[in-house]
Amino acid sequence: MKTRQRYVCAECGGISPSWRGQCPRCGKWNTLSAQTVAASSSKGGFASPSPAVPPASLADHPDEGGVAAPTGLADLDRVLGGGLAPGGAILLGGEPGIGKSTLLLQLAGRLAASGRSPVYFSGEESLSQLKSRAARLKCLHPGLLAVSSTDASQAVALLSDPNPPSLLIADSVQTLHSPAAEGASGSVGQVRAVSSELVEAAKRSGTPLILVGHVTKDGQIAGPKLMEHMVDTVLYLEGERRHVFRILRVLKNRFGPTDELLVFEMREKGLAVVADPSTFFLGERDAALSGSAVVMAVEGQRPLAVEVQALAAHSYLGIPRRTALGVDQGRLHLLLAVLEKRLGVHLGQSDIYAKLGGGLSMRDPGLDLGLAAAILSSFHDRPLPAGAVFWGEVDLGGRIRPVSGHDMRLKQAKRLGYGPLFFPRPGKGAQGVSDLTALHAALFS
């Protein structure tokens, strides 16, 4: 059979007939890699069309009747939308050492203890390594089955068996190799082939599948972006390895909400769910120090009290330093410009540092008001009122705009006993602050 080469983008899956430094579809650089495919046999360059498939009525189509199987963790079931859907494919990404394998081995142990037959298919660890880790995590069980191999066809054979496992965990996609594709394990072609073969086999057998994916230096799940489109659910486990907490975020979910998260605490025996993470990220906060503000942020459907820290120090540099950890640096620059313009606060000679306590990373626009209060507190070297909580978005005019989840934030702040509360006015005559001038007057007048 004649073959030809084409070049596929690792980011967007775009195809180019020749190699280019820049992908013509997404514009990313150095993402095209060669892929060998069978050449078309027709002289006109187009293969003969397949026979048309008549469309079917969705109303008359029989239901599959499958129900999601519980994982043994009620909070994880909530995040997944009810549990492990039959034939559902889940992609779990995260940095090395963040706890992906630990979480999945604990999950497999729970399923085995409940009488089911999960299989942990590892291309990274030997069986003896898996056994010692399962023993340390106290999840070793006779029903916990494991395979140590890098041959993806063996995993497909498990799914094609007349008695398939109740769950197959493939750890990780980048270590598995498919004989149907060329290239080394972890290459774009191999990752695409392995993912598609496993997902198709899982859907045929009705077995839930969990794929573990590595991440790039930019924090994106490695491999072609097409891999995320193949699966039903994309989860991301994040956090600082030096901190005890981990956050499991849902980036995509065909069976449930996409704005959920789950907070874990890393302990000696593995990851444990934090039942009430409302104030978990405040840590040992000292309210008497300047530059510290508590923000009632919303991640998913949960309001979390987080600490926003800021430091304004005199700069000895020609261009003052601006550093942000856990918050968007562009948003910090914008906020500093608004403070200078609307309040006349001269920050041009100060180095400004901002971060979220506990190593968190958030993009909630409701952080703006707390970040502005923390910067002003550090600049004036005056602590904010004890128990004060902030949330609201600051626009370019210095006005404070409402953010989503206002009622949820307000209810949680009152439940935790915080006060005074600083938030956008929902309407005329309502309680709250309207702009940065009113905030500055309320805090420092």
On whether the CB atoms of residues 184 and 176 are closer than 8 A, the answer is: no
Extended strands (E) in 374-419: 389-390, 393-394, 400-401
Place of tokens 């261009």: 319
Is 100 assigned to a binding site? yes
Number of Cβ within 10 Å of residue 409's Cβ equals 25
Residue 362 DSSP code: -
Question: Could you please report the per-residue DSSP string of 29-67?
Answer: BS-EEEEEEEPP-STTS-PPPPPPPPP--TTTSPP----
Is 414 assigned to a binding site? no
On whether the CB atoms of residues 33 and 24 are closer than 8 A, the answer is: no
Is 28 assigned to a binding site? no
Is 97 assigned to a binding site? yes
Residue 312's H or E segment, with its range, is: strand 302-314
Q: Which of 333, 316, 322, 326 is nearest to 394 (CA)?
A: 333
Is 115 assigned to a binding site? no
Q: What is the largest CA-CA distance in the chain?
A: 82
Measured between alpha carbons, how far is 297 from 364 in angstroms, rounded to an integer?
7
Instruction: Specify binding-site residues for ATP.
Output: 94-101
Instruction: Specify binding-site residues.
Output: 94-101
